[in-house]
Amino acid sequence: MITVVIIGFGNVGQHLFRAFRKSKEVKVLQVCSPSLEEGYKGKTQFIKKLSEVTMADIYLFAVSDDLISKLSHDLPVEHKLVVHTSGTVSMEALNGKNRKGVFYPLQSFSTDAKIDFKKLPICVEAENPEDSDLLTKLSKAISKKVVVMSSQDRKRMHMAAVWVNNFSNHMYHLASDYLTEHDLDFDLLKPLILETAKKIQILNPKDAQTGPAKRKDKNTIAAHLAMLEDPKEKEIYKLLTESIQKKFNQNQ
């Protein structure tokens, strides 16, 4: 049984709390956040103040990147394993009075969406092999896919996640707003959106690409640019079209 204290109860903290509660190998002793109502939820104590944390195997910070350093300094324990859940912050940002580690779930957490942790990769890092093993064990309690990864590689992975998640979602956002402006139904695109993501599970992105940019269909590209009123959106369309074409001019 691994005992855990979760510090921070935003999207990441809440999703991890729910996932750990389902596992028999993990016990969340406490969740700490100034916004919480004090009391118990099942066997987990909800506390407001960091000064009230109890002894545990792992202290897991699910807080904003810029709070990691300060809060890990304020944590009133020593020589324990303390980890954060950030994709971008280096392990070294954690305070040196404890053993450092990272527990980064490669996923985008929205409050309202349920997450299937089993298929979700978790990137772990620690200063020593024992802690790396313990974090791997913690990860395996909720996920089938665990990877030991350096801070440097985790930062790269996080940036790539921004491209495939935040930027793709923004493509949906631009399309949705455009269709709504013209009284057209964004729902019609939902099967295509799902198909686009499913296709990439089996094809590589280059083989999956289709459309006017790849085909160098100048008429359609010009017509689309003329249809876009916002200069910024025009610029994005142009730049992405050029960028697609660059990929297909390479290595031929």
Residues 6+ apart with CB under 8 A from 22: 142
Least distance to a second copy, CB of residue 242, Å: 7
145 binds a second copy (CB under 8 A): yes
Interior angle at CA 21, CA 29 and CA 19, nearest 5? 120
The answer to whether the beta carbons of residues 142 and 4 sit under 8 Å apart is: no
The residue among 3 and 14 lying less far from a second copy, judged by its C-beta, is: 14
The residue written with tokens 């954060």 in the block is: 84
110 binds a second copy (CB under 8 A): yes
Q: Interacting stretch for a second copy, rule CB under 8 A, among 31-39, 46-54, 75-83, 100-108?
A: 100-108
Residues 6+ apart with CB under 8 A from 81: 57, 58, 59, 98, 99, 101, 126, 131, 134, 135
> Within 13 Å, how many C-alpha atoms sit on residue 94's CB side?
30
The residue among 48 and 198 lying less far from a second copy, judged by its C-beta, is: 198
22 binds a second copy (CB under 8 A): no
The residue among 29 and 244 lying less far from a second copy, judged by its C-beta, is: 244
Least distance to a second copy, CB of residue 178, Å: 6
Site string for a second copy, 44-83 (x = CB under 8 A): ---------------------xx-----------------
Least distance to a second copy, CB of residue 78, Å: 28
Residue 111 corresponds to which tokens in the numbers above? 């409050």
234 binds a second copy (CB under 8 A): no
The residue written with tokens 């996923």 in the block is: 107
Q: Which of 27, 121, 127, 140 binds a second copy (CB under 8 A)?
A: 121
